[in-house]
Amino acid sequence: MHIQPGLYRHYKGPEYRVYGVARSSEDEQEVVFYQALYGEFGLWVRPLSMFLESVEVDGESVPRFALIEAEPSLFSVPQAPTA
């Protein structure tokens, strides 16, 4: 599964910068790697499935994190050489 790097807003209001998706070395679960854009600017990971899910707020289903602005990835993925 893929997620666009960029600025996101949590449904409670704070903003975060998503850097990309990583894989856990323990169970290979995909996790989103992101940073809080407030306070101590902490670095976080959250299971991708949880990051993408919707939550209920005042009886309405809203995304847990909503994309504000897409940004280019800081991480390049090497391409296989072509013959």
Whole-prediction pTM: 0.86
83 pLDDT tier (thresholds 50, 70, 90): low
**CA distance readout (Å), 16 to 7, 30, 73:** 6, 18, 15
pLDDT tens-digit map of 42-80: 999 999 999 999 999 999 999 999 999 999 888 777 777
Instruction: Sketch out the chain's domains with CATH numbers.
Output: 6-70 (2.30.30.320)
pLDDT tens-digit map of 14-43: 999 999 999 999 999 999 999 999 999 999
State the amino acid at position 11 in one-letter form: Y
How far is Cα 29 from Cα 7, in angstroms, rounded to an integer? 23
